[in-house]
Amino acid sequence: DDAKSHEVKFTCVFTCPLTGEHFACGSWSNDGAEVVDVGKDGIFWYKNKKQAMNAAAAKALDCFSRRECHGKENAPLAQQRCRD
């Protein structure tokens, strides 16, 4: 990222300790978190480390929840944490 030093941005990847799967942070907007920038490569950037970590954890939870529903689209939207 070509941000200036006073414009530091954060991204995060959650690695599941059980499966070893990696989940990059998604488009998450909870607790006032907002995506600061989406890079050309589709990486979501946040204004602080905590928001980036929470976004990666939310993406992992979304994926695990969808998997529990056997990939069906009928999972309640209220359970979805990321917009993507």
- pLDDT score of 2: 61
Q: Alpha-carbon distance 71 to 55, whole Å?
A: 21
pLDDT at 1 over 60: no
Instruction: Indicate the DSSP class of residue 5.
Output: G
- How much is the pTM? 0.71
Amino acid 16: pLDDT: 92
CB 25 within 8 A of CB 11: yes
Question: What is the reported pLDDT for 70?
Answer: 58
CB-based contacts of 13: which residues, under 8 Å, 6+ apart?
Answer: 22, 23, 24, 25, 56
Q: How confident is the model at residue 4 (pLDDT cuts 50, 70, 90)?
A: low
User: Shortest CA distance to 35 belongs to which of 54, 16, 22?
Assistant: 54
